Amino acid sequence: MALKLETGTRLVVATHNPGKVKELIEILDGRFDLVSAGELNLPEPDETETTFVGNALLKARAAADASGLVALADDSGLSVKALDGAPGIFSARWAGPEKDFAMAMRKVEERLEEVGADDFSAWFTSALAVAWPHGPAVVVEGRVDGVLTFPPRGDKGFGYDPIFLPEGCDMTFGEMAPATKDGMSHRARAFEKLKAALL
């Protein structure tokens, strides 16, 4: 039997990050009844996998099994070519327990200075996983390439958005209107694949 998600299905979004919840709500365009893991006081599982896909699956399965709802999880991050793909799956952890992304962006800049980088190529990856309670799961991955720019620009978006210039653009994700970013982001590209698989 093909796995399908009906419009109006209640989904638990497996994150405690309000920015990520807001962006997913916008990308999903009101199609589902969303509640976050934070609102349900679900524990955050340790992200012990070594890939975005692995961590997205881990988080979706944990939220689905704990809540009894179909769960949607995103694991995403920034990878920098000159830093051998770092911070990658550790993107959130670079911001520390306080989720201080101003500090995380400074850390990226400092690491680039340390290695004497002249190539600021970078990319965002998003793995989206949907899991049914104690059942099957589907996972897809999207990516958007660009370059880093310093100092950070813009106060929209979240995370590393203010230092990321997507290919062919002169505005950072942090400067773009949400609808513009949602039309091209790694998360939007992953969701297009998810829609093809499930909707």
Active site residues: 75
Task: Kindly give the pairing relationship between strand 137-148 and strand 121-131.
Answer: antiparallel
Give CA–CA dist 184/99, Å, rounded.
25
Torsion of CA 190, 88, 148, 152, to 10 degrees: 100
Give CA–CA dist 181/101, Å, rounded.
19
Q: Identify whether the C-beta of residue 2 lies closer than 8 Å to the C-beta of residue 127.
A: no
Q: Choose among 157, 129, 161: nearest CA to 146.
A: 161
